[in-house]
Structures are given as structure tokens and as C-alpha cells.
Structure 1
Amino acid sequence: MAVNKDKREVDEDDYRRVRELHALGMGRNAIAREIGRAQRTVSVIAAELELVFDTSMTEEATAARVAQLAALRADTALHLHLDALKLTQQMWEPAVVYNFGGKDNTFASREVDEPPAADKKSLMTAAGIALEKSLKLVPPADDAGAEDARSMLGQLMVGLKAAYDQAVSEEGGAGEEAEGESP
């Protein structure tokens, strides 16, 4: 026989009420509230009575939450991509450079055609982090495009090698390669 955590013995009335309320279609949590027992106690009583609770509503609610989280991840990934785009655009736009300094801690600023190299590096780093986080949130669906690109590049290399070999043979046979050239 089950014992509740408040040390109050579970009696036959608890078993009867769990059976009745279960037959009415009530869930474990609702039954626990109704009879004033812990959810775990109701679960133990139900198991002893070989009663099973319908979990389809819980499963549907969980599926809905999972779908909501996926949508939020997709939205966040989109915003991170847009942020990365804005950051990279700033690398080529006019900017204001400024400095505080001197013994009087003066402020000086001026407009430049584009940010200094150090600022461009910071912008690119921030954009890279945004893209990396975006891709972790929503990874690309497949890698088929990458495989196609590798295949195309491989075919291009074979074609270039054949063209090189033909050019070398037309220039005089087995000509020697200059340093740094590849066959």
C-alpha cells in the first residue's frame, strides 16, 4: 500500500477515489489536487490498480512547445544573419573615428570614408560570431550543395590539367617547369 510523503496512510478511500476519478477521464495532476495527495502517490496508486493515464494531450502540448521553440530558433537565426549583414556593410560605409586623450582628456573626432582596419576586423569578427551562432541554431538542411561544388571543382582541375599538358606539349614537348608552376 502506498504512503504519502506527509506520512498519512493511504487508505481504501484513496484507492476508490483514484479509480472513480480516473474513470471520469481526469488526469493524474487533477486527481492529486482533488484528493489532496501528491502526484507521486496518485501515480503509485494508479500503478497498483493497473490504471494508465492518457498522455496524448501532454504529447500534443510537448509537440506544440517543440514547434514553437523551432520557430523561435529560426527567427533568431534570421535576425543574426541580418545583423551579420549590417555589420559587414558598415565596413565600407563612412564612419566617425574619435579619441579621448591628453593631459586635459580632450575629445577629438573626424569623419572618414570607411572605418580603420582595426574597426573592420572587429566588425568582421562580430559578423562571423553572429553567423556561427545562427548556423548552430538552425544548421543547413543538407550538404548536397557542398558535394556538388567539390565535384565541379574536381572536374575543373582535371580540365585545367589537360589544357596545361596540351599547352606544354605544343610548346616543345617535355619542357621544363619553371619554379612555382604546377603541372
Structure 2
Amino acid sequence: MPKGAAVPFSEDEIAELCRLHAEGKGRNEIARALGRSLRGVSIHAGRLGLTFDRTATEAATRARKADLEERRVILAEALQEDAERLTEQLWAPHWVFNFGGKDNSYERRLLDEPPADAKKNLMSAAGIAIEKSLKLVPPEREDLEGLAAVDAWLRGMMPGGE
């Protein structure tokens, strides 16, 4: 028998499949009762013209999709909060450290704000968090129009209006 081919059902198994189907049993329950694979039950039921009610499956799929959407929104919100915390650090006092030297010394100093390289890293991390947040929960079309207006306004505020 070719690999992946369904093992034929006996006459007793076919009768049992028909009986269980008539009782309203689902494919999974019939497969368990017969000790057969889901695929085998589906193939033999199809050959017999039997179909299964998919209402519960469709409802469960919709529920899983809704749950996943909710989880994506929660993750997007967390990423947005991360980006906000990172950008707040751009203008906050910042400790700089120095380790090493021949005496293996340690020094630290508090600056009014982070040095340029630290700001660049903070902006990069914030940008990545915002980008990922937008990919998880893209803005609605009308929101995009609002973003375009804000973008144009910001460009107008730049020297030379670029």
C-alpha cells in the first residue's frame, strides 16, 4: 500500500462509523472509538458521503483568532510603553562608568543627559520597539492620514522646511 494511503475499513468499522455519525458524533470522537486516524475517518466518511458539523470548529477557530489578536494588542502596548520609557531616558540624568586601567579602578559620574552614543542606542531601541508595535497592530487607514499630516508638519518645522 502506498505511503500515506488510508488503511481500508472493515465492513464492521464502516457500519460503526455510520452509526456513530448518525448519533451526531464528531470526527475526533469517531476516530477515538474506532482506534483510527482522523485522516482515515475523514477519507472513509467522505467516500460514504458523510459530512461533519463544523460549527463548533469554526467557533473555536474564531475564538483562538480573537485571543491571539488580544495578545498581539497587549504586546504592542508593552512595546509602545518600552519606547516611551526609552525616549524619556534621552533627557534624564545619566550615570557614566569607567572600569579598568592599570590599577583596575572604577569611576562613575552623573551627567545632565546621556552622551551622544548612548542617545543613539536609546533612539535605535525605541525605534525598533515602535516599529514592532506598529507591525503587531497596524494603524487604521484614517490614522495613517493623520500620521502623514503630523509628518508634514514636523518637516515644516525643520530648518529649510525639508
Does the pair score TM above 0.5? yes
CA distance in 2, matches of 1:87, 1:146: 21
Structure of higher RCO (CA pairs closer than 8 Å, 6+ residues apart): 2
Amino acid at match of 1:51: L
Q: Deviations over 1:78-105 (max 9, x none)?
A: 1111110000001111111001121232
- Normalization by structure 2: what TM-score? 0.84
State yes or no: 1:123 paired with 2:122. yes
CA distance in 1, matches of 2:119, 2:90: 5
The answer for unaligned runs of 5 or more in structure 1 is 158-180
For the 8 Å contact 2:6–2:40, the answer to whether it is kept is: no
Choose 1 or 2 for highest CA Rg.
1
What is the SS of the residue equivalent to 2:107?
A: strand
- Normalization by structure 1: what TM-score? 0.75
The answer for unaligned runs of 5 or more in structure 2 is none
Q: Deviations over 1:26-55 (max 9, x none)?
A: 111110100111111111110111000011
CA distance in 1, matches of 2:117, 2:79: 22
Quote the RMSD (CA, aligned, Å).
2.5
Please show how residues 1-183 of structure 1 align to structure 2 within 5 Å.
Answer: 9-142=8-141, 143-146=144-147, 149=149
What is the SS of the residue equivalent to 2:50?
A: coil
CA distance in 2, matches of 1:112, 1:146: 34
> What is the total number of aligned residue pairs between the two structures?
150
